[in-house]
Structure 1
């Protein structure tokens, strides 16, 4: 299983496989038909409170990672996401953050890797 992470604003590529949006809000400035999203898992995104607290502050990323993991661990949304991903050979977790390495999709990929190893 190949799990990639990509900004929604980057061009769609054939090797993306199944594209899963993992944000709670639809990305600004992107039309649904242009996003090439196969599935939108809103429920797996960080809560509004956690998202606002984190505010993509690099100094808060480690704490965000721990809080986000605690927030979704054992939830139906995480189980559904992992089950959905297991059905596909290649998956790209799509996000809108400007931070390519400090966002919820990165945390999710790590969690999924741990669960499917």
Structure 2
């Protein structure tokens, strides 16, 4: 699984594979055609509050990483779709930040490369305990006669003779 990171201002290259913008805000001065994107994943971008708090200050990086990872836990479905795209081929996470080492795409890449969060493993259906003998007797129904072929919810056809 190859996941590349690239600034929006860097030109697209053939080896980029699928390109996804991972910013909440559209980058200034760029058209959709110029970016050559396969998708804009603003739902995977940090919340506005977290983005403003971080302000791309390296001193807040570790705390930003921690908080952003917590936000991503709530985005499991979107992460799974992006991870599936990465398994099919190269993807490039495109971002507008100036700092290539301290931005949300770096954290998102880390999360995608980790194994997916464990979910409840599917288990085989457990046999249900049967009724006790007394319960079975109280719920027993009269059996249908062996020769009956009409379902219970239908009345038998009346046969009229000559």
TM-score computed with the length of structure 2 as normaliser: 0.68
- Structure 1 residues not aligned, in runs of 5+: none
Between Structure 1 and Structure 2, the one with more strand by share is: 1
Matches of residues 42-53 of structure 1 in structure 2 within 5 Å?
42-53=42-53
The offset of 1:85, in angstroms, is 2.8
- Once superposed, which parts of structure 1, at least 4 consecutive aligned residues long, lie more than 6 Å away? none
Equivalent residue for 1:31?
31
Give 3-state SS (helix, strand or coil) of 1:97's partner.
coil
Q: Which runs of 5+ in 2 are unaligned?
A: 117-162
**TM-score, normalised with respect to structure 1:** 0.92
Tell me the SS of whatever aligns to 1:108: helix
Paired with 1:110 and 1:55, the residues of 2 have a C-alpha distance of 20
* Larger relative helix fraction: 1
Checking the alignment, whether the CA contact within 8 Å between 2:7 and 2:96 is kept in structure 1 is yes
Q: For each residue in 1:17-46, what CA deviation from the matched residue of structure 2 results, as whole angstroms up to 9, or x when unmatched?
A: 110111111111111111011111110000
Report the number of matched residues. 115
User: What is the aligned partner in structure 2 of residue 20 from structure 1?
Assistant: 20
